[in-house]
Structure 1
Amino acid sequence: MAKRNRSFAVVGLGAFGSTVATELARFGNRVIGIDIDERRVSLLTSTLSSALIMDATDEAALREAGIDKYDVALVAIGSNLEASILTAMTLKLIGIETIWVKASSRTHHRILAKLGVDRVIQPEQEMGRHIAQMLNNPVLQDYVSLGNGYSVVNIVVPKRLEGRELSTLGLGTVHDLRLLGVMRGTEFRHSTEDTLLETDDKLILLGKRGELRSFGDSL
């Protein structure tokens, strides 16, 4: 069955919001961008399905623009905490099914959580943690946090392990980690214990952060 593209409303077209909106459009989704700044809106008119200069706290204006028919809304308003909160409330009021909101502070985060939005994001903190993980351990190429302490990571096989069997790494025994597969170049491989490692193979591992960190350090 073909994947159904969804519709997205992105409110706030600063650096973060415009990037998300542009990428969603690139994936083939219907995306409307909203901002009160005419310059920001004009920059995206040829990229998004539509872009509007609008006060997103205005319920009537949102309904008139058909925003209530969109599947998902992202509120990416920067430092104006009041506008961000009022926009989230208005989007809930008009019946948007899924609402994500960018938070600029802990207080902002707590208020949004009380409002019952689906997800509160703090991109600067999340990216900061992401970069710190990779700087801390050079073999760690990338990771995705899954919550409850679990992450999926890509760990690069160093040259000194070339030719060794996968079983010698102690995955599932010494280290409480699950191997999801191995990337060799651009090819994904389902590997077995007797698979011979090559330099620059990427191990895709699932586990708790402490175990992943310990394994990375052992390499």
Structure 2
Amino acid sequence: MAKRRTFGIIGLGNFGRAVAGELARFGDDVIGVDVDGKAVDAMVETLTRALIGDGRDAEALREAGIGECDVVIVAVGEPMEASVLALMNAKLLGVPRILAKADSKMHHRILSKLGADRVVHPEEEMGLHIAQVMHNPLVRDYVSVGNGYHVVNFFVPEALQGKRLAELELLEGHELRCVGVMRGSKFVGDRHMDCELAEDDRLLLLGTRENLQAFGATL
């Protein structure tokens, strides 16, 4: 069984609240800190601990238990000073892994230079995600797996229904790998290349964005 980890969330706005709530749902210990008492009150019943505190105050974070966390998410965006100081204080307290939210490229550069292990742009990333899905109506969802590769969930169009996966020549013709096929809620992977595609099936394909887009344009 995986070791239960403790997460600290500094800032309980929309982003911080969503991350904290989901981690709590997974069964992790979550400590939430925010200067806004109403934001804290809204999470008291959900988190392991939810406390009023200022991320710019290292002592307040220490008393909240942030220094004992395995991972801290600095979910404060504005003002930038609060985000930067919260990150620096988490580093000062010896937190081994820190993720931070950025609202601009400059903000991103500063947080990276100060030692954030990962910097995220939730609004920008969600916008890109929605644009990708909206651009091709056959794409239900996708996820980045690093190094420029993505796994995309494609609806099977009428033109491919009745064909076997082997007939698509995904690797030879498109440099794509089929991870499997979803048929309703069932994963069809045992038959793999002999699998005959049916209406409402979904293809799980791994490849670069360029190759996935080129394949999608042919459907």
Q: TM-score range by the shorter chain?
A: over 0.9
Which residue is equivalent to 2:138? 139
Calculate percent identity across the aligned residue pairs: 52
Shift of 1:194: 2.1
Where structure 2 has 5 or more consecutive residues not aligned to the other structure, the ranges are: none
RMSD over aligned Cα atoms: 1.1
Deviations 1:161-204 (A, max 9, x none): 22111112121111100111111111112143221101121111
Report the TM-score, using the length of structure 2 for normalisation.
0.96
Confirm whether residue 212 of structure 1 aligns to residue 204 of structure 2: no
Which residue is equivalent to 2:7? 8
Q: How does 1:128-167 map to 2 (within 5 A)?
A: 128-167=127-166
Which residue is equivalent to 1:93? 92
Q: What one-letter code is carried by the residue in structure 2 that aligns with 1:82? A: E
Which residue is equivalent to 2:202? 202
Shift of 1:66: 2.1
Q: What one-letter code is carried by the residue in structure 1 that aligns with 2:200? A: D
- Which 4+ residue blocks in structure 1 deviate beyond 6 angstroms? none
Quick one: distance in 1 between partners of 2:216 and 2:199?
Answer: 15
Quick one: distance in 2 between partners of 1:192 and 1:46?
Answer: 46
Q: What one-letter code is carried by the residue in structure 1 that aligns with 2:147? A: N
Quick one: distance in 2 between partners of 1:168 and 1:209?
Answer: 22
Quick one: distance in 2 between partners of 1:53 and 1:193?
Answer: 56
- Retained in 2: the 8 A contact 1:171–1:179? yes
Shift of 1:78: 2.6
Shift of 1:75: 0.6
Deviations 1:20-53 (A, max 9, x none): 1011101100001100001110111011111000
Quick one: distance in 2 between partners of 1:142 and 1:156?
Answer: 10
Which residue is equivalent to 1:82? 81
For these two proteins, the number of residue pairs brought into alignment is: 218
Q: How does 1:14-29 map to 2 (within 5 A)?
A: 14-29=13-28
Question: 3-state SS of the aligned residue for 2:82?
Answer: helix
Quick one: distance in 2 between partners of 1:109 and 1:66?
Answer: 26
Deviations 1:103-124 (A, max 9, x none): 0111100101111211000011
Higher deviation after alignment, 189-198 or 26-35: 189-198
Which residue is equivalent to 1:118? 117
Deviations 1:55-90 (A, max 9, x none): 122122222222111111001113210000010011
Which residue is equivalent to 2:51? 52
Quick one: distance in 2 between partners of 1:96 and 1:30?
Answer: 15
Higher deviation after alignment, 140-149 or 19-28: 140-149
Where structure 1 has 5 or more consecutive residues not aligned to the other structure, the ranges are: none
Deviations 1:122-164 (A, max 9, x none): 0111011100101100111111112332111111101232211
Q: What one-letter code is carried by the residue in structure 2 that aligns with 1:141? A: R
